[in-house]
């Protein structure tokens, strides 16, 4: 991978990287399209990263569908797919981890200890392997994107971080590989995340600025669904992920499936 990237860059070509864990969907396709529009070469990495999953999380059953991924990538204008093995990414005895403090500590960082260390480590290794000019991440994983921005800035990676808008189903549900876990009743209940964000955005547009009032709106809409359980619902600063701010962030259990979503309340909710 590195040799190929260096050949391209020696020719003056710009390289864009779209990091994924596979189980590709239209959200990933939008990242690829963004990369295609800004670079000469587009690389998609596919790697289900074991060190960003905690004990009892869904690493073993995380969706893996190589045939589907190849079909999606075939018509997406991708120049290379980097699909390293676990043994290549983490050689025996590997113990080094990259820790980003501050922005990685609250919310997802608190709910999933060690998760962002795993993310920061694998992203660092992908940046080393691909040496991209730009890397593309989705707004749905807003805190992850903020962690990666801080990582790139603090460790002087010469890569521009691009964050692309969340892609949603017609009913508002944010696309996620984990949506495939949902049964039919759970799928209907999952729309509560986006409808809660829309409700809070409408209230913000009407002049509501009290964080606790906005938080109660978010929780009230989601908890009206019997299958939904709020892990957190906060309104935070999009850089620090601490209050106060305008970014509404959610983590919700729909049955056994954990979903996240977010929206900047100062903007009209899409759709």
Contact 99, 120 (CB under 8 A): yes
Catalytic-role residue among 28, 68, 99, 263: 28
Measured distance CA(60)–CA(50) in Å, rounded: 9
Question: Considering only CA atoms, which of 118, 53, 55, 50 is closest in space to residue 86?
Answer: 50
28 as an active site residue: the answer is yes
| Residue ranges in the chain assigned as alpha helix (H) | 2-10, 26-38, 66-74, 86-89, 108-111, 115-130, 142-154, 184-205, 211-223
Backbone phi, psi, residue 127, to 5°: -65, -35
Q: How many CB atoms lie within 10 A of CB 32?
A: 23
Which positions are annotated as active-site residues?
28
């Amino acid at each position: 991978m590195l040799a190929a990237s260096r050949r391209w860059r020696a020719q003056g070509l710009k390289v864009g990287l779209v990091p994924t864990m596979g189980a590709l969907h239209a959200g990933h396709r939008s990242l690829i399209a963004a990369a295609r529009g800004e670079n000469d070469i587009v690389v998609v990495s596919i790697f289900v990263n074991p060190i960003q999953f905690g004990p009892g999380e869904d690493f073993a059953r995380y969706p893996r569908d190589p045939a589907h991924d190849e079909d999606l990538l075939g018509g997406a204008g991708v120049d290379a797919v980097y699909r390293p093995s676990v043994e290549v990414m983490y050689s025996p005895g590997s113990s080094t981890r990259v820790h980003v403090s501050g922005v990685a500590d609250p919310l997802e960082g608190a709910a999933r200890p060690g998760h962002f260390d795993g993310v920061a480590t694998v992203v660092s290794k992908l940046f080393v392997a691909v040496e991209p000019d730009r890397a593309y991440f989705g707004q749905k994983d807003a805190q992850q994107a903020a962690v990666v921005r801080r990582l790139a800035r603090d460790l002087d990676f010469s890569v521009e971080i691009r964050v692309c808008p969340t892609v949603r189903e017609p009913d508002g549900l944010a696309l996620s590989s984990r949506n495939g876990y949902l049964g039919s009743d759970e799928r209907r209940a999952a729309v509560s995340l986006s409808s809660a964000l829309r409700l809070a955005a409408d209230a913000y547009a009407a002049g509501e600025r009290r964080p606790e009032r906005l938080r109660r709106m978010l929780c009230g809409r989601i908890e009206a669904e019997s299958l939904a359980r709020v892990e957190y619902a906060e309104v935070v600063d999009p850089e620090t992920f601490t209050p106060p701010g305008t970014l509404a962030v959610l983590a919700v259990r729909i049955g056994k499936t954990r979903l996240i979503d977010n929206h900047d309340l100062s903007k009209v909710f899409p759709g």
